[in-house]
Structure 1
Amino acid sequence: MLKDIVGVRLKGANFENASDIFLLNSCNGNGKKLKSSKGTLLYGRNGAGKSTLAKAIKKAKGDVQESIEDAEFLDINNSRVMLTDEEKSHIFVFDEEYVDKNIKFRESGLNTIIMLGHQAELVEQIELAQKELKKSKTDYEEQEAVVKEHEKIDCEKSPKYYIKKMRFALQGDECWAGKDKLIKGNRQNTSVRDDTYKKFVSLSTSKTRDQLILEFDETLKELRRAQQGDAVISTKVPVLNMKYNEKEIIKLLRKKIEKPELSERECYLLELVQSGKTLELNNMINVFSNEKISMCPTCMQPVSEKYKHNLVQSIQKVLNREVEEHQADLGAFLMEEVKIDFSPFFKVTDRTELCMKLLSQINTAIKTNNLIIQRKIDNPYTPCEQNIYCISNLLVQLREQMVNLEVERKDYNKKITATKPIIDRLTKINDLIAHFDIQESYLQYLVCEVQLKKDREKLFEKQQIYINAKQHLDELEAKQKNVKVALSIINSNLSYIFFSNERFKIDYRDDNYILLSNGKPVQPSQISQGERNIIGLCYFFASILKNQEELKAYTKEYLLLIDDPVSSFDIENKTGIMSFLRYQLGKFLLGNEDTRAIIMTHDLLTYYDAEKIFKELIEANKTKYGYKSTYQCYELKNQTLINFPYNGRQEYTELIKIIYEFALGNAVEYELIIGNIMRQVLEAFSTFEYKKGIDEVSTDQNILNVLPEEIYKNYFENLMYRLILNNGSHRLNQTKSMSDMNFFSVISTSEKRRTAKEILCFIYLLNQRHLLSHLESCTDVELNLSKWCNEIKSRAGA
């Protein structure tokens, strides 16, 4: 029976040797049973082997686990526990592998989940729901027509109508866009968008529009005088890095390649090479090397394989490797013409014309040299004695002239009068004129926007009524198909965790399960790993009840293992997950006195919360069954279980260490809840030391007088109170149970780290020995605390 299981013998993965792990051992050293065990709480750091234990339990119940060589359940006498198939089916393990296996997403949603339950007669309810749906759809469509009409750009009740009017008021030559063109010297009026008006609506001035017009005209004349027809040349003269090697080119042109001894046909082929038809010969090689060619594509005469082979060899003999390499070397010196635009620099100096003349000479020489090189490429066997143009000297001259031209461009720009302040002043005046031009249309726009918002809200209400009516009908029809049992339980579980009926919900549509987030379908890529784990946990408990009546299902005996119910992805939903876990474990552990549960976690805060769950359920179990059971607290370390009892002071110490590590820049996994951790430590410290709440300690003058310097007193009384106590997001009872996961979420990471340092310094300055005793296992504590205290003094004195 399941209640006989006290451990598992396993080998594989982290456990290289066969090991006996007694997770549910409630016996003394002599093997005598002391109390009935309801479960085990196991803490283990990542990599300690918790996942391996979960896989071993699945292996022992008959599941395939390739990483586990062997696994079997053990009883109190270290003997193997033999289970029936029915008993094995009552062992359930939730871990990462379970989520990967059972929660898969596709566009249509989750795989089918069917649970049987009682089904009521739904015909009359469906008929009534269909009538309600028809009426709500009509109301929704009528209101939708009203909204669409008020959204049309030609409707005088539409905000878009007045946006169009404001655009028109800004676009003309005599309007904002035309004046902005004059200011910036553009060819066309400045573009006006639908949201351009927003730049002007909040402006204000004591001047009238007429006064602004006169001021604009006078300032524009001032700008034209300043510009004096000139403008800064922003285009830089490019840098010329081109090189040309005439010596190497002449060497290649003069090079003679010996002709091979050739047959009559090969001599003919050579003549083709010398006449510049090398490309045609290469094409012939490609054609007659093709096994599928049996006819000459030119004369259409049949050709034998032997003829083709001999012809290809003859061509390759003429076009030998030396010729190919020589042609390639020559081809490397074929150059494109140099393109440089000197037009931006005409008004700088006459040097521009000289640069253009040199550039023209260079390009002419390049074209001539390219022709000579190409002729040698086409006739590689015959040396070329023709002289080429010397381009490198021309390049040196052009490079020097361009460097001087850039210097003259910079000197020219320095002489241009600075016009930016005048342009800025003109732009401001133009914006103020635009404010007057759109003011009336903007006020009418605001009135229409308010009315349209009301119409849309009314549409949303009618849409929700229509959606709810359709959803109600879908749910009734789903019940007829015997699927509502699964949806009801899973959605109830999701609502329990997220504290919302809309945050996540599974709907049944067109024979598919659709996942909704805040009422809208979501794609698989939009679901986070944490949300996927939560859906998996909800499905896990729902699947245990599969094909069973809910009231009877909890009365059966189960062995449940939950591996890391709160992962790093779920930290923001920790409160909901732990509350949900308490609710579900309560149903199972109290439903049958032999049902047991194992919770494994790598997170200390989850460990402490889970311990509270076990403690509450043990008391409830005693009330129900008349005897007190127990539970075990272990740590998995070096593939061995060691006692890990719950201790309030130990929790307080661990929380202080977390704050210290976070202040150092570590413990990043606690960032989302570090505010609650700091709050809880402060509450515990103030209660232990002064029997006061932290809100009293931070303002009690007698306590603050304990601080060694007056500068600390003022700092902590003012800044600490504002940062820590006056946030408004916490409540005392929630803080003590660490359930307010949103505390401290509104400030940056750097501010959180600074606050962590300040809290530690606050406690340190009030009771140095107290804090050091809790941080004795940490390094450089006094050095860091002293440094942080000096930083506070520096800030307070600034």
Structure 2
Amino acid sequence: MIKEKIEIYLLNEKKKDFDYLKDVEKSIEQLSDNYEQYLSNIDIFVNELGVQKSVEESLGDSIDEIKRILKQKLGNMENDNLKFPSDDYITLISRLSEIEEECKEKKKIKLKELNKKTENINVIVTGSISLEILENQSIREELSSIQYEENECKKQEQLNEEINAKISKLHKNQSDYNDFKIYLNGVFESINLHIRLKSDETTQNYYLYHDLENISLNIKDISEGEKNLIAFLFFYFELFEDEKQETIKSNIKTLIIDDPINSFDEANRFYVLELIKKVLKSKFNQIFIFIHSWNDFCDITYRLKGEDHNFYEVYKDHQGTSFLEKFKKVKTPYKKLFQEIYELSRKSQKDIVEEDCYYYHSINSIRRVFEEFLSFKLKNSDLAQKSNQPEIEEVYRKMTGNEMSNNKKIKLGSFLTIINVLSHKPYRAIDVIGSAKFLMRYIEDVDKAHYDAMKD
């Protein structure tokens, strides 16, 4: 058993020695090739680079001897008497490396000398030519004439470019406005608006025209909503490369639209709303739309989902500082107001901050929520009025099965007075909070399911 292990060990050691000697053999072959190249170019190294010629040429015999011994050893690894001359090998490698480094250094020095000579020759040639030009009158005059002609040509080229640019701009503007005229008139005809944009071929000016009354119109003759519609349609038209409004202009990366539909009547509002939705589907890098109405916000964001869209609301604290709040789900205008009043109802006297402007618009919100809630319970269009208190008490009786107590009737009367009278004059914050509390209690008593669905 021990003998077998020893034999295995010896075999492994011989294998390592063999592999090492094979690597040495490859190195020797490479050294032999390099040395032969050196000898074949020895005259260049000596005469051109200044390498000192000495006995190095005889190193070839040493290389051949090492190669011979190495070949014998690799052929008979069992012969322990045959030793590889490692010391001679190291000495040979060292000497050949010195020769190689000397050749590289001499070559570097020679190249530097040649580059310096080339630079000197260029300086001499350039100086000679310049001197000849300065001394030759006819050459100087010819050069001056050439320089003048070049400057004149450059001036004419620049002038031509400016004139062509102006011509192109005039053509483009005329073409763009004419295309817009066709587009605008088509839109106005489709929404039954009897205003047209026309052009005077003589003056190249554009003017508004009423197609039923056959009269020209000044800008002051049309309504503010019509002005806004023309302005928005021009803005929309300019977003596209083509007259069919299909290809977005490549230089438009970011789009910002502020309150686009708030100033239109219902007919025009829905048309512009569809244009906004089309813009949102277009391939802009970023689109920012600022909305000042919750109804408009809900209409624009209807069915907008996914990671491509983000929704924010701007709030102000009692010091007037604005901040953004991001939300994922869009609420209906009624639910939005309901939750604001619900949060208000949870406040108390100690929560009131004198500088807080929140309370100044809350009475109107309370009345709007109450009117919306009663619209599903009463037929009367004048809903949240003091004169309708008996009907409101009857809603309470029908929905709860109980008569409203005298105390609640007094609170209801006070509540109706506050949300109608105080919405037009200054009021105390505590009265607003009290009204919010009464409204939430009333809705919870009358329709608990509705109350729970709206507050969360």
Structure showing greater Rg: 2
Q: What's the TM-score once normalised by structure 1's chain length?
A: 0.22
Q: What's the TM-score once normalised by structure 2's chain length?
A: 0.35
Which has the larger helix fraction?
2
| Larger RCO: 1 or 2 (CA < 8 Å, sep 6+) | 1
